[in-house]
Amino acid sequence: MSLWLPVIAYMAVLFGFSSLHTLPSPPAGFSFYDVHIAAYAGLAGVTARATGGGLRDVSLRAVLVAIVISSLYGVSDEYHQRFVPGRTFDVLDMLADAIGSVAGASAAGAWSIIRRRFRDA
């Protein structure tokens, strides 16, 4: 269960931001899509850690499950925004969430492979 607490906390933070009527502007040089990609890369990373039982042995299956969970959370997040005044349901935001999910889960999987190679060397 302790591996899932960061996932739940991360989702709660994302839900909190989604509940805001207006969002702070992203840093100079970044778009809201960049923020979505980064946020969902983080979610997918902690989700891959949870599905893989830690970062030491994150399998391809764990990566794929993390991508699905994170991407579906992105869809639910966009749906939630339909009910928040001043916010909208945006398909491009969901695409950015999915791209971030793939990047974050893949990075966790790659890190696991690197750790195993050095451990076994």
In sequence order, what DSSP letters do the residues of the chain get, joined into one string?
-TTTHHHHHHHHHHHHHHT-SSPPPPPTT--HHHHHHHHHHHHHHHHHHHHTTSSSS--HHHHHHHHHHHHHHHHHHHHHHTTSTT----HHHHHHHHHHHHHHHHHHHHHHHHHHHHHH-
* 9 belongs to a structural domain: yes
pTM listed for this prediction: 0.93
* 41 belongs to a structural domain: yes
Average pLDDT score over residue span 2-17:
97
The reported pLDDT for the residue numbered 105 is: 98
| pLDDT tens digits, 56-113 | 789 999 999 999 999 999 999 999 999 999 999 999 999 999 999 999 999 999 999 9
* 111 belongs to a structural domain: yes
Average pLDDT score over residue span 17-39:
93
pLDDT reading at 120 higher than 80: no
Q: Which domain covers residue 105, as residue numbers?
A: 5-20+31-120
The total number of structural domains in the chain stands at 1
